[in-house]
Copies of this chain bind each other. A is one copy, B any other.
Amino acid sequence: MKRNTWQREAVRTALGTQMGFVSAQDLHSNLKGTGSQIGLATVYRALGDLATEGEADSLQSPEGESLYRACSTGHHHHLICRGCGLAVEIEADDVEQWAKSVAALHGFSQAEHVVDVFGYCSACVPAVG
């Protein structure tokens, strides 16, 4: 049976207070910073569970780190700022349909798609060099 531990709750809460995506490592530092003595492995496990249960979104940054964010239910994608981590949820029925049809067209099944847009939000546009 799934048990209710303060650690899991702490992760859920910490994730909820984040405005954007965070890595497990960051979230862990974050928690430690607020006095929590939660372990790193536990944060990974909690995030994994949260993602599995649909309470969190996970995606990979271009650098290959796994990032997580509390999410509303349902399937959606994100527009993520490389500067501040701000994430905007975007609905993309068109893209869903497109992904589905492309997969079907080529005889692929169990299709999963990765659709995310990275850029700099208006507040983070770096000085163009």
Contacts and interface: CB of A to CB of B under 8 A. Distances in A.
Interface of A: 60, 62, 64, 66, 79, 81, 88, 90, 92, 94-95, 98-99, 102-103, 106-122, 125
Contact of A60 (B60, B94, B109, B122): B60
Given A64-B64, A113-B116, A116-B114, A106 B121 contact: yes
B79 A112 contact: no
Given A60-B64, A79-B106, A119 B115 contact: no
A110 B120 contact: yes
B108 A112 contact: no
Nearest to A107: B122
Contact of A121 (B92, B95, B108, B120): B108
